[in-house]
Chain A
């Protein structure tokens, strides 16, 4: 006898829980945002089919489990809304073919495929990911984006596409906290709306596919670190922990990336160590590195440390509790 839960059920629930953030992204950045998500997901599925054929594995059953779709969507959510179509195609291909299947497919990958692909794109297409943020023309099916440089006020266009508020260039500007919470701010497609991400995360917690303590400890650690650390670049918000936790990809990372089952530790103790470590790294990278955002690298680094954490956080064998003296 088996429980009703299965891999497809979990994966499709994750897809479902990502919908609010997607809607928020399309609202903020226009329809091209949806196109990036769509292109990325389709590429992920097609790549998965191709690799499964090459590996002589059952194709249809594995496709139906939805894990490739999750990777595709998550990758797109970490990309700027103006990402050229070929960049998301290359990223998606890399996520599935190299990060996932080269290590043995779902369950055997060491790093979160979406994040590793994002890190890859950051190196391969630095212009698209880091600096060359472009203004989109709002409208259905308008895949061609215009090359005008960012309009500083952002008032002339419907869509906001500039680097995350954490970036140096954006340093002088401040956004109201409610703006950050709703997500009406520059950033990547799926990362800006805290409320939409919380909605999806709450659903996953209700379904018990993720544990509350992973996002909690992750975000709480960033909060505390911001209070403690002296920032390298002084901006009006530099030491405001609320500003820090609501901007950038922290909520997306905390609820959907750090909670990835395959690449995070097994036990509760291990997961808390993982979350605290990722939170500390995020704050350190944000404060002292050349990058404005540290969520992606912090989670990838903690993914790397997962086997080690597992080794030191084995569950306690029943009946071996140390007696209180």
Chain B
């Protein structure tokens, strides 16, 4: 019925309207205070690609911004010390996303918060060359901060035969509860636009398109005013719908171009960067500041003081939870938003990484009994990638991996719309993720 009134806002086909929004908890919290951790655990793998290799050892003294892990190969990213202090150890530590122990550099804070020499100095960026921009981004260890953590310098090095005509900046922040991008856009809009222009310059692309969900119309107005004299940068409001901020949906809504789920945006001449990444790019190029901190939304009904914090990488979430006054009766802590986030098994050991945009703390996370599929077809209507989640979940459950492959299981982007919408409460994405991992393992063996 609602669909009869066709909305003028840009959007895509499929997706879901979440019944919980949760952004109200944190969106109006004015300042984003900095958290100063006592100890940080810096994973060598905070990005997609090869893990960095640690170049410090136990007992070394490091300063803020100092390189502690060097990228291994092109698709990899540097890791820098986020505080000054003594390297307590280099140990395998449980990774908050994979759950597997993976090497991390542990630094104990020495109390002084000073940059290493040569870092954090303002420079003139008017005449900087594209290659210099790329090099600065690469050495600063910047990865996609929307959550995918793909190394940004790789994204900015498209194959020679692909022509990129548009940079798409993602200000959708479609995950419920999260407001870290929103706060950043409100607090640092000029810096974000500068970062966007640097990215455009880096790949020699004239046009840019900024997409913002309609629930952030104040940010839309701010951006519109900043780019008033810049006809090449367009700002558009998009419908509030999940996953509006995913690459495929963003490009469909703004540019009306379609490409396969497993393809990259460069197939249709576009590059997508998150607003957080654009800000990090600006900081890296203008001030030579490596990526050592980011905005993190700590929210949910499990904390009394939900807030956005400026958090140093590797901060134990225990400290964030205390700062947000965590309640005693919490039953779930999720890294990321409620749709795609990863539930944490052990909150004592969990630490933030580059991709951590939110920590959702809940007291009433329900455990549902899952039922056999009743074939209602709601998952098919919601799947933005044109898959059949109902059939896939049944095939993956039965471990019929070959049939699952025939039904495009590898094209699933795990956005979670199907699991959300399922009235039988089937853990569809969960089953698909396991099947994908299993298939990848078999392929590696063969």
Binding site for B on A (CB under 8 A): 1-7, 9-10, 58, 61, 104-108, 206, 209, 261-267, 271, 310, 314-321
Contact = CB atoms under 8 A, between A and B. Distances in A.
B20 A7 contact: no
Nearest to A310: B391
B166 interface: no
Nearest to B423: A5
B270 interface: no
Contact of B374 (A7, A206, A317, A321): A7
A92 to B, nearest CB: 20
Interface stretch (B40-48, B52-60, B192-200, B257-265): B257-265
B84 to A, nearest CB: 40
Contacts of B419: 2
Contact of A61 (B259, B339, B369, B374): B369
A261 B377 contact: yes
B372 A106 contact: yes
A319 B260 contact: yes
Given A206-B1, A316-B386, A321 B375 contact: no
11 contacts: A2-B422, A3-B16, A3-B19, A3-B423, A5-B423, A10-B374, A107-B375, A206-B1, A315-B383, A316-B386, A318-B384
A45 B127 CA distance: 78
A317 B261 contact: yes
B258 A319 contact: yes
Nearest to B383: A315
Contacts of A263: 375
B261 A319 contact: yes
Nearest to B14: A318
B420 interface: yes
Contacts of B380: 266-267, 315
Contacts of B375: 107, 261-264, 266
B372 to A, nearest CB: 3
Given A7-B423, A266-B375, A315-B380, 18 more contacts: A1-B176, A2-B425, A3-B420, A7-B424, A104-B372, A107-B374, A206-B1, A261-B375, A261-B377, A263-B375, A267-B380, A267-B388, A315-B388, A318-B384, A318-B385, A319-B260, A319-B261, A320-B260
B114 interface: no
A318 B388 contact: no
B377 A267 contact: yes
A261 B390 CA distance: 12
Interface-centre pick from B248, B263, B366, B422 (highest chain A CB count, 10 A): B422
Contacts of A261: 374-377
A4 B338 CA distance: 15
A317 B261 CA distance: 8
A310 B420 CA distance: 23
B420 A2 contact: yes
Contacts of A319: 248, 258-261, 263
Query: Ordered nearest first, which 7 A-B pairs have the shortest CB separation?
Result: A107-B372, A319-B260, A1-B338, A318-B386, A318-B385, A261-B376, A266-B377
Interface in B417-434: 419-425
A107 B373 contact: yes
Contacts of A320: 260, 386
Given A10-B423, A315-B380, A105 B372 contact: yes
Given A261-B377, A266-B388, A318 B248 contact: yes
Nearest to B2: A208
Interface of B: 1, 16, 18-20, 176, 248, 258-261, 263, 338-339, 366, 368-369, 371-378, 380, 383-388, 390-391, 407-408, 411, 419-425
Contacts of A61: 369
B386 A107 contact: no
Given A1-B176, A315-B380, A266 B374 contact: no
Contact of A3 (B248, B374, B385, B421): B421
Contacts of B391: 266, 310
Contacts of A315: 380, 383, 386-388
A113 to B, nearest CB: 13
Contacts of A317: 260-261, 385-387, 408, 411
A265 B391 CA distance: 12
B376 A10 contact: yes
Contact of A107 (B20, B259, B371): B371
Given A1-B338, A107-B372, A107-B375, A6 B423 contact: yes
Contacts of A5: 378, 421, 423
A182 to B, nearest CB: 27
A289 to B, nearest CB: 29
Contacts of B388: 266-267, 314-315
A105 B372 CA distance: 9
Interface centre among A58, A206, A261 (most CB of B within 10 A): A261
Nearest to A317: B386
A58 B380 CA distance: 29
A265 B369 CA distance: 25
Contacts of B176: 1
Nearest to A61: B369
Nearest to B338: A1
Contacts of A266: 375, 377, 380, 388, 390-391
A9 B19 CA distance: 16
Contacts of B19: 3-4
Nearest to B267: A319
Nearest to B373: A107
Most A CB within 10 A of own CB, among B16, B339, B376, B390: B376
Nearest to B249: A318
A180 B263 CA distance: 57
Contacts of B366: 2
Nearest to B365: A1
Contact of B371 (A2, A7, A206): A7
Contact of A318 (B258, B374, B378, B424): B258
Contacts of A6: 423-425
A4 B1 CA distance: 19
Contacts of A318: 248, 258, 260-261, 384-386, 411
Contacts of A267: 377, 380, 388
Nearest to A263: B375
Nearest to B419: A2
B424 A107 contact: yes
Contacts of B377: 261, 265-267, 271
B240 to A, nearest CB: 16
A108 B259 CA distance: 35
